[in-house]
Structure 1
Amino acid sequence: MILLTGVTGTVGRLVARSLTTAEPVRVLARDPRRAAAYAGPGTEVVGGDFGEPASLAAALAGVRAAFLVTSDPLAPAHDEHFVTAARRAGVHHVVKLSARAVTEPDADDLITRWQRNAEELLRASGLAWTLLRPRAFMSNTLRWAPSIRAEGVVRAFHGASPNATVDPRDIAEVAALALTGAVLPGRAHSLTGPAAISAAEQVAVLSGLLRRPLRLVELTREQAYAGLSARLPRPVAEALLESAVRQGAGAKARVEPTVRTLLGRPARPYRAWARDHLAAFGDG
């Protein structure tokens, strides 16, 4: 049996859709009713919480491989609880969604340290493991949708700096291969798009597809932090701002060939992602 976590999130829901296997699939979620909307036919949906080890033990019973997505850097015990429960349940292989920055010595923000420590925990567990280390998701630009629809404006910090953003669908396809054994465990995979692209260039792509002018407004550091801290806990907002500053210094522009190597086709470019999600920005 394969267990999926994070199915109400960006990548997890795509893994649930792209996973093709005769093996039984189970989904773990805090809200099973919400998760059921993303589960495939015949998929078992169970309730559970990373903060409640007993619920994890029940969900992992009989599981061979698991897809692990934790999302709260202020709750590092979540990874520990899951890995401990997986080991006790006899799970063979854990595929973990991590981040590209964990390998970069100059990245020392809260989120990167959290992911780095979680990777080390999994590698030391005795379980077979696969680490997926994507660069920023192309889908992060969905945050621009309200201001694009209302004003034709995108507000961004370091708008000219490139980031080798990756289509979440590519991450999900790699995860599905790892879960079904088509990608061997014991390796970490850095996942990027086919080219580094700046916010300004993404705005230009959206403008062309929408066939209307869009304007990029460059945020100051203070404005960027104010926007982050308005919707996130202060330590997380500070970590994301540190990460953005690193991007401004060129730290996120490197492109990796991993998607092409593992999937046998080029990574999807931002234009393809944007075209497939254009309705969110006001088309149609």
Structure 2
Amino acid sequence: MILVTGATGTVGREVVRRLPADGPVRVLTRRPDRVGDLPEHVEAVAGDYGDAPSLERALKGVTKVFLLTNAVGGGDDERFLRAVRGTDVRLIVKLSAAAVANPAADDAITRWQRRCEARLRECGTEWTLLRPRAFMSNTLGWAPLIASGRPVSALYGTSPNSCVDPRDIAEVAVRALTEEGHAGRAYTLTGPEPVSAVDQAACLSRLLGKPVRFEEWDVARARAAYLRRHPEHVAEALLQSAEQQRAGAKARVEPAVAEVTGRPACSYEQWAADHISRFADGAASPQQGWAGAGRHPG
């Protein structure tokens, strides 16, 4: 059996959709009612990283896990790995972040992810690490602004990021969970080209057939916006992450999506075209932590 955590989030939902129907799947969530309709081979169980008995129940009979945590600086990974000891779990595929591999990145989110990766490597269970750049779906946060004719904004709007389609992340995760040869690998997952926020706004303008105005945030405005949605240590980490992007640290394109899936990574234009109705009707993606339903700093 495969256990999927974070199944109500952007990547977790796609992992569940893509797992083959010839084997049982279980999803762990604090709110099973939010998972929606599931295929017959998928069951939802209530649980929480801070509730050891619920983890014990969820792990019964499980051999492989897709692990996603988003409490920056917290101990959810450690708690989950303690629960795994003595079970039948033999592989954990973990969602991390591309910045982990950048020695110059030293923000709170990246330090936390490095610590989580280290704990996983030390736990004695086989592992695969997925290190994506920023999610293309981050721009769904612009949808209400675009639908109402207001400008979209970002810090350092011309800085490039080789952002990745969450569907590509999910497909690589499913391959790692269902195929041999991925244990002990760390995959940096990117799109096929670096794009900036200005590029993304221009792309959406073309697809919608109407102007999408872009306004540059200064640091003070960006900090204020982040603090409205995140704790201070996460807001400061996002600012530091943006500085790394401005320095060019997030522009590199990696071949892992194509190597694992056998097809090219999805471009931002392809992703945007597939989701253009969301921008037309203003349906923003809900926020669940820094990387839950939509946000990932990459």
Counterpart in the other structure of 1:73: 72
Counterpart in the other structure of 2:177: 179
**In structure 1, what is the Cα distance between the partners aligned to 2:40 and 2:202?**
39
Q: 2:242 matched to 1:240?
A: no
Q: 2:3 matched to 1:3?
A: yes
Task: Give the alignment's Cα RMSD to 1 decimal.
Answer: 1.2
Counterpart in the other structure of 1:280: 278
Deviation at 1:183, TM superposition (A): 4.5
SS of 2:86's equivalent? helix
One-letter code aligned to 1:62: G
Which consecutive residues of structure 2, in runs of 5 or more, have no partner in the other structure? 283-298
**In structure 2, what is the Cα distance between the partners aligned to 1:264 and 1:56?**
35
**In structure 1, what is the Cα distance between the partners aligned to 2:261 and 2:37?**
23
Paired-residue identity, %: 54
**In structure 2, what is the Cα distance between the partners aligned to 1:55 and 1:34?**
18
Counterpart in the other structure of 2:137: 139
Counterpart contact for 1:13–1:38, Cα < 8 Å: no
Counterpart in the other structure of 2:217: 219
Which consecutive residues of structure 1, in runs of 5 or more, have no partner in the other structure? none
Counterpart contact for 2:94–2:129, Cα < 8 Å: yes
**In structure 2, what is the Cα distance between the partners aligned to 1:85 and 1:215?**
49
Counterpart in the other structure of 2:47: 48
SS of 2:225's equivalent? helix
Of 156, 159, 166, which residue of structure 1 is paired with 2:157? 159
Q: Residues 198-241 of structure 1, C-alpha deviation per residue, up to 9 Å, x if partnerless? A: 01111110000000011110000000010000111111111111
Q: 2:128 matched to 1:130?
A: yes
SS of 2:3's equivalent? strand
Q: Which of structure 1's runs of 4+ aligned residues deviate more than 6 A?
A: none
One-letter code aligned to 1:228: Y
One-letter code aligned to 1:27: V
Counterpart contact for 2:21–2:41, Cα < 8 Å: no
Counterpart contact for 1:110–1:235, Cα < 8 Å: yes
**In structure 2, what is the Cα distance between the partners aligned to 1:238 and 1:196?**
24
Q: Looking at both structures, which has the greater relative contact order when contacts are Cα pairs under 8 Å and sequence separation is at least 6?
A: 2
Is the alpha carbon distance of 1:283 and 1:209 closer, same or farther for their aligned partners in structure 2, counting shifts above 3 Å? farther
SS of 2:50's equivalent? coil
**In structure 1, what is the Cα distance between the partners aligned to 2:155 and 2:88?**
46
Counterpart in the other structure of 2:60: 61
Query: Any residues of structure 2 matched to 1:83-94 within 5 Å, and which?
Result: 83-94=81-92
**In structure 2, what is the Cα distance between the partners aligned to 1:255 and 1:152?**
32
**In structure 2, what is the Cα distance between the partners aligned to 1:237 and 1:40?**
38
Of 92, 95, 104, which residue of structure 1 is paired with 2:93? 95
One-letter code aligned to 2:172: V
One-letter code aligned to 1:133: R
Counterpart in the other structure of 1:202: 200
Counterpart in the other structure of 1:266: 264
TM-score (norm 2): 0.92
TM-score (norm 1): 0.97
Is the alpha carbon distance of 1:38 and 1:192 closer, same or farther for their aligned partners in structure 2, counting shifts above 3 Å? farther
Counterpart in the other structure of 2:252: 254
Deviation at 1:33, TM superposition (A): 1.4
